[in-house]
Structure 1
Amino acid sequence: MGVTRPQVVAHRGSSATNAEHTLGAYVAALDEGAEALECDVRLTADGHLVCVHDRDLKRTAQKRALVSSMELSDLEQLDFASWKHPWAELDDEAPELDPELGKVLTLRRLLETVRDYERLVELAIETKHPTRYAGLVERRLVELLDDFGWAGADSPARVMSFSWIALRRVRRLAPDLRLVFLMDGPTDWARVRPFAEPDWIAGPGIKVLRKHPDLITRIREAGTELHVWTVNKESDIDLCRSMGVSAVITDRPGPTKRYLDADV
């Protein structure tokens, strides 16, 4: 086994046990020792970046509507948490939760949480595509990062996407931000190489590592950094570590960190 100790990145917060992308999920991830927080961002109809994975609200807010068609004030009226534990209100012993922890989370609020936290925490921000707003998502993201002084080389944030076009947009707007090209399949990296730049990080899913280790080894041996999603099993953590992966994106930041630290 290799000696690499990958960074533990909380996928949508501590999302195995908390409603994804809520402030409650990210607070839990920080409490569990997550070294970075991952989020997906979409643009509302009135131009706010919110942390939501799906283009529609059916799964996480029980509403038949698109994120892009709603204003932030309307989204703030919805419950983004109860889908995760639908019977919680019937549990007399369940702790009383702050309703703010289950509302839609703006990216600005998440950035403020990271900025004000007692230790250094990084951010891995994925822009979702396709979207009706095209490049406006990346423009708004860079503007917001710049508000925090985080659009330069020393930024704690990196930007991820399955769209190489989106990453090239970010590179034009903020040349020093780190970029991660997310990979669903074994041919994605070869397909994007003509359009990518040498410092792009490869972001394969764990299934690509399992099924195509030789490909991942070649990418790593070429000097490319690897950030892998979504890593929840100990056997997959071991695989990532043995292949020199720099960051593991996990739904279980606490258990993942404990497992890694126990073997240091």
Structure 2
Amino acid sequence: MQVVAHRGASHEIAEHTTDAYAEAIRIGADGLECDVRLTADGHLVCVHDRDLRRTAASRGIISAMTLEELNAFDLASWKDPWRDLDDEAPVLDPDRGKVLTLRKLLQMVADADRRVELAIETKHPTRYGGLVERRVAHLLAEFGWTGPESPVRVMSFSFTALQRMQKLTPGLQLVQLIDKAHHWPMLRRIVDPSWIMGPGIGELRDHPGLGKHLNLHHRRIHVWTVNTQAELELCQSLGVEAVISDRPGYIMDLLRR
């Protein structure tokens, strides 16, 4: 089973930062997961929320801001708000809290001393619509990562977004995310058989029939967000290929045991 670091090693370190991803690579995570949004000046950045309220106490909306404007914010301090009061805390690089671009994260994957996979989730709805997928496809092409051997796969809750990616990068692995079990009967009829299904662990736990039906239809399964032993054991019982976790080190330790 593949263990994928959700927004990096985000249980311990602020999500979507270089530190979180570097730690996930260091501890041996098989893959990394990130969310991407498009800035007003066309940069793909790794940010989950549509605004900065949670991570920078600002109402700024990602899609309405330039990369330069985003770089004025510290997106890491919210994880450790009392750090400035600790006289013994080591001095940190001031750039560590700046917004992470997808290009930089792709370069981290390329520079790793082993194969590290990357699951990119495109966030929708967005004012830019299909431009997000076009920019992702263009950037992956720069790295030569659009074919079946690519370490990258693209995920989305939006079926339309994945259809766009399939046309732009026919060889790339795609993951249809599922946040409601009752969506499965509809998705079963329209989703390409080659696509991976990505249900949330809560839906698998609360609706046991979902996992059974996915197995019945021989679907490959990647699950988010798996953080406990009980959740991992449920995934193992369903033959899940990959688990996305805030605690990749802990999950890998459970698997080793």
The equivalent position to 1:63 in structure 2, one of 58, 65, 72, is: 58
The unaligned stretches of length 5 or more in structure 1 are 1-5
Single out whichever of 210-219 and 111-120 deviates more from structure 2.
210-219
Moved more, 88-97 or 227-236: 88-97
How does 1:80-229 map onto structure 2 within 5 Å? 80-229=75-224
Does the 8 A contact of 1:189 with 1:202 survive in 2?
A: no
- Counterparts of 1:255 and 1:164 in 2: how far apart (Å)? 32
2-structure distance, mates of 1:216, 1:96: 47
SS in 2 for 1:134: coil
How far off its partner does 1:129 sit? 0.3
Cα displacement (A) at 1:61 = 1.8
User: Which deviates the most, 206-215 or 125-134?
Assistant: 206-215
Map 1:16-31 to 2 at 5 A: 16-31=11-26
What residue identity is the alignment partner of 2:68? S
Distance in structure 1 (CA, Å) of the matches to 2:55 and 2:159: 28
Distance 2:159 2:174 in 1: 10
**SS state of the match for residue 189, structure 2?**
coil
Task: State the SS of the aligned residue for 1:83.
Answer: helix
Code of the aligned partner of 2:85: L
- Matched residue, 2:242: 247
Partner of 1:259: 254
In terms of fraction of residues, the more helix-rich structure is: 2
Identity of aligned residues (%): 58
In 1, the alpha carbon distance for the partners of 2:186 and 2:43 equals: 32
Distance in 2 (CA, whole Å) between partners of 1:95 and 1:180 is 40
**Per the alignment, in what secondary structure is the counterpart of residue 96 of structure 1?**
coil
Please say if 1:35 is aligned against 2:30.
yes
Give TM-score, length-normalised by structure 1: 0.95
* One-letter code aligned to 1:139: R
Please report how far the alpha carbon of residue 174 of structure 1 lies from its aligned counterpart in structure 2 after TM superposition: 0.6
For 1:99 and 1:242, how far apart are their aligned partners in 2? 45
Counterparts of 1:96 and 1:241 in 2: how far apart (Å)?
Answer: 42
Is the 1:204–1:228 Cα contact (8 Å) retained in structure 2? yes
Shift of 1:70: 0.6
Give the drift of 1:234.
0.8
Which residue of structure 1 lines up, in the alignment, with residue 39 of structure 2? 44
For 2:67, which of 64, 67, 72 is the aligned residue? Answer: 72
**Count of aligned residue pairs for this structure pair:** 257
Contact 1:138 1:170 in 2 (8 A): yes
Gaps of at least 5 residues in structure 2 are none
What displacement does 1:77 show?
1.6
Residues 203 and 226, structure 1, Cα contact 8 Å, conserved in 2: yes
Verify the 8 A CA contact 2:184 2:210 in the aligned structure 1. no
Whether the aligned pair in 2 keeps the contact of 1:159 and 1:179 (CA below 8 Å) is yes
1:194 is paired with a residue whose SS is helix
Q: Which amino acid aligns with 2:207?
A: H
Partner of 1:3: none
Q: Which has the larger displacement, 93-102 or 20-29?
A: 93-102
1:148 offset after TM fit, Å? 0.3
Q: CA deviation at 1:182?
A: 0.6
Look up the equivalent residue of 2:127 and give its one-letter code: R
Q: CA RMSD in A?
A: 1.0
Q: Which runs of 4+ in 1 moved over 6 A?
A: none
Distance 1:218 1:34 in 2: 29
Three-state SS of the structure 2 residue aligned to 1:50 is strand
**Is contact 2:179-2:199 (8 Å) kept?**
yes
* TM-score normalised according to structure 2 size: 0.98
